[in-house]
Structure 1
Amino acid sequence: MTLPATKPSKRKIQTKAERRAETTEQILDAAEFLFSRHGFYGVTLKDVAKKVGVHHTLLNYYFADKQSLFDEVFARRAKVANKVRMEALDAYEATLDGPPTVEGALHAFLDTNLDLYDQGDQGWHYAGTLAAAVSNTPEWGAELFDEWFDPIVLRLIDLLKRAMPECPEEDVFWGYHFVSGSLMLTLARTGRIDKLSNGLCKADDFDAIKARMVDFMAAGFRAACRDKSARST
């Protein structure tokens, strides 16, 4: 029996806008990887073009210069990270039947962020390393973090103030400072703890980190916020 001839499948023809969007994502992915490994000053547009497999002049069609490319690389992940953390904080606050707790606020702020950078695609791993590097760049890192993350951080601090109304405001801010440092070191995945512990602890074991970080930080907040006179006796 002769089978009826099948019609060749038609490949969808991309529009100009779709091609541009796809190429933009390829450029951002390549730049994200390179910036995460070599920093802003260690990467050129030619390096990015080579990684993508295109002529470097094409990048000028998509991005005015390296700074605009870097800004878009950072913004792409920051938008998503802010959205999921704000949603988590909203969801936590909606469950409250009384004041928030230190642990509850920190879990909402930290766990969702750790899940995103751990369970997302490989690009999120590079983005975490890049964020950690930017946070430790004195020249302009703070300005970039101010621009993107101040609203979400201040939302967390508001919850912590309500959880510890007796705590001096300065100690709440210092507490966040220490939380931020721990989070950035975690996202950097340097592997230092692997070597120090002879493999007992692993920098990319985010489940182990989640199981410990909030308890550690909450205890630190409470210790720092005890009455000053009580601590001095």
Structure 2
Amino acid sequence: MANPAVEPKAKKSRKILILDSAEALFAQYGYDGVTLRQITKRAGVDLALANYHFGPKRDLFNAVLERRADIVNSARFKALDECLQASKGAPSVEGIIDAYLRPLGEIQSSADDGLRHYLALIAYVNNSHEYGKEFMTQFFNPLVQRFIDALRQALPEADEQAIYWGYHYLSGALTLTFADTGRLDILSEGKASSSDFKTGYAHMIPFIAAGMRAICARGEPSN
């Protein structure tokens, strides 16, 4: 059966068209920068239809966030399982981080604009005090805890708080990469591009792995 998230526009239901339009606009302008009228205009449907299917804008925003969470999580769970099986219970930090990042790189290099919009939206949510904690906790904490457990296997002598800080730094780097602001292009005068996700992830893996090993080897930080 075809995935309604990637069907041609002519074959999509009006409900899916509303979700797709909301996803693209929220990703570009944030929650507060978009109205229901703008969403339905882009979708080519009546405003009343958005209210009928989703209710107020906040409920539509939540529906957009929930829709693809399982797709993203399943790809990363699968990558982690493959990493752990290949390592026979002794994973490397680099292997774990690769499993965390690689599915996202595959999504961003795919032909599915919707999934790319979704990752940009996650960057917005992850950086939002209002939405970040609630949504990320509900939909992504089980995934993150699996990766934290794998990092414990890779760094058995590490202080646990250092592993969590290491993940925190990874999450921050990932959020900025998802956002794809173009600032890297300007700073580097075109030598590097924030939309070059393949290179970005290739650099991020050894960078984060080295930093995580360094802080995990230090023990408690001094005051």
TM-score for both structures, normalised by structure 1: 0.86
| CA offset digits 1:78-126 (Å, max 9, x no partner) | 1110010011111111222241110111111111122213324112222
One-letter amino acid of the structure 2 residue matched with residue 148 of structure 1: F
User: Residue 63 of structure 1: CA displacement?
Assistant: 1.0
Asked if the contact 2:158–2:219 (Cα under 8 Å) also holds between the matched residues in 1, the reply is: no
Q: Does 1:141 align with 2:132?
A: yes
Deviation by residue 1:104-159 (Cα, 9 ceiling, x = unmatched): 11111111122213324112222122111111111221110001100110000000
Counterpart AA for 2:191: L
Displaced runs of 4 or more, over 3 A: none
Q: 1:61 aligns with which of 47, 52, 58?
A: 52
Alignment of 1:40-79 (within 5 A): 40-79=31-70
Percent identity over the alignment is 41
- Tell me which amino acid in the other structure corresponds to 1:194: D
Which whole-Å deviations, capped at 9, do the CAs of 1:166-189 have from their partners, x for residues lacking one? 110000000000000001111110
Asked whether the 8 Å contact 2:14–2:45 carries over to 1, the reply is no
Q: 1:10 — aligned with what?
A: none
CA distance in 2: counterparts of 1:31 and 1:227, whole angstroms: 45
Structure 2: gaps spanning 5 or more residues: 1-9
2 CA distance for matches of 1:114 and 1:84? 11
- TM-score normalized with structure 2 length: 0.90
What RMSD, in angstroms, separates the aligned Cα atoms of the two structures? 1.9
Q: Secondary structure at the match of 1:95?
A: helix
Tell me the residue number matched to 2:4. Answer: none
Contact 1:118 1:124 (8 Å CA) reproduced: no
May I ask how many residue pairs the two structures share in their alignment? Answer: 213
User: Does 2:85 correspond to 1:94?
Assistant: yes
Structure 1, unmatched stretches of 5+, are 1-18
Are positions 1:125 and 2:116 aligned together? Answer: yes
**Which residue does the alignment assign to 1:159?**
150
Q: CA deviation at 1:190?
A: 0.5
